[in-house]
A and B are shown apart, each in its own frame.
Chain A
């Protein structure tokens, strides 16, 4: 039971990290394509 809770918290933290990280990276990269022809 304890390890279930530990695992669930770990999965939630890791998911925050992954989802948030990818979103932020994409947001930052979006700012790079302002100038120049596309």
Chain B
């Protein structure tokens, strides 16, 4: 986007991103001290919500890439449900295993986004090689993270 004039929605999106960044930094600072660590997590959580809302708003109103919003809603609800279960009911002694699983989820998400991006690449676009390399790396790293984390999980579980 080369226009100097931002739409109102775009301004709101940029402000949300700015708020998220500030909250992340403040949250990280608070995490450095045991007294304020929990407040730091809270700040980071609010920042994350702002970032997600900003991205959704951007997809809906600015770039228009979000078409099947029902799927996003279902995925968000499902993910929140599973995440809450895992967050509340996994015993503390199983933390290393949980972290390994969590990394696997992150890896698979990155890899899948990379695959979806690859499918929508415009072959006539300038700078295609760079995009191809970046997308390829994204998929490769995501897949390595996914399988590696599952192996780590398995080893921790003694499977």
Contact = CB atoms under 8 A, between A and B. Distances in A.
B112 A9 contact: yes
B63 interface: no
Contacts of A33: 34, 38
Interface residues on B, range: 35 or more
A10 B79 CA distance: 10
Contact of A20 (B34, B41, B87, B116): B87
Contact of B83 (A3, A9, A16, A27): A16
Given A12-B78, A12-B79, A6 B105 contact: no
Contacts, number: 123
A6 B87 contact: no
B48 A16 contact: no
Given A7-B113, A29-B37, A22 B75 contact: no
Interface residues of A, number: 32
Interface of B: 34, 37-38, 41, 44-45, 48, 68, 71-72, 74-76, 78-80, 82-84, 86-88, 90, 92, 95, 98, 102, 105-106, 108-110, 112-113, 115-116, 119-120
Interface of A: 2-33
Given A20-B82, A27-B92, 7 more contacts: A6-B116, A9-B108, A10-B75, A14-B105, A18-B79, A19-B84, A24-B95
